Amino acid sequence: MSAPPGRTSEAAFPSEGTASGRKGVPIGSTTFAFPVRVYYEDTDAAGVVYYANYLKFMERARTEWLDAHGLPLAELERVHGVVFVVTRAEIDFRGAARLGDRLEATVAFEPVGRAQMVAHQSVRRGREVLVEGRVRLACLARDGWAPARVPPELARLMEASL
């Protein structure tokens, strides 16, 4: 992977307008951004995004990345018989989002083996990084839940982004 979290070049950031509701946009050659708007349900009693909801925003970005590359999760399960499970998540909180904020959840994937990958992710408000994370995922066979090879199309996409 060319840029770990927090090291994407300034030129790779989309303009402020990308969080306006577009489905998801690639930024740079390896990072994908998905727009997120903060709703009341995302906040705690103080009006700040509840910490666990950042994981949901990151999950959406991973799912949308797959879909944007023509590999929706349902198809990966149906055609290749695989599912993905999170085996580890490391998150650093740097700032807080509030009700009504327009954010972007980013993702860039790194293959780390035949049956694993790592998602380098962030949640940003404009150019401000609020949360950075590293999420390790395992590819498992839908039947039996044993480790399975990452489908070739997905492996090629991740290799191309290195």
Kindly state whether residue 1 falls inside one of the protein's structural domains: no
Kindly state whether residue 7 falls inside one of the protein's structural domains: no
Instruction: Give 2-42 pLDDT, tens digit per residue.
Output: 333 333 333 333 333 333 334 554 444 468 999 999 999 99
Kindly state whether residue 11 falls inside one of the protein's structural domains: no
What is the number of structural domains in the chain?
A: 1
CATH of the domain at 44: 3.10.129.10
Instruction: Give 41-73 pLDDT, tens digit per residue.
Output: 999 999 999 999 999 999 999 999 999 999 999
Instruction: Give 108-145 pLDDT, tens digit per residue.
Output: 998 889 999 999 999 999 999 999 999 999 999 999 99
- Which residues are annotated as catalytic? 44
**Residue 47 region, left (φ>0) first, then alpha (ψ -120 to 50), else beta?**
left
Kindly state whether residue 10 falls inside one of the protein's structural domains: no
Kindly state whether residue 9 falls inside one of the protein's structural domains: no
**pLDDT at 64 (0 to 100):** 96
The boundaries of the domain holding residue 23 are 16-160
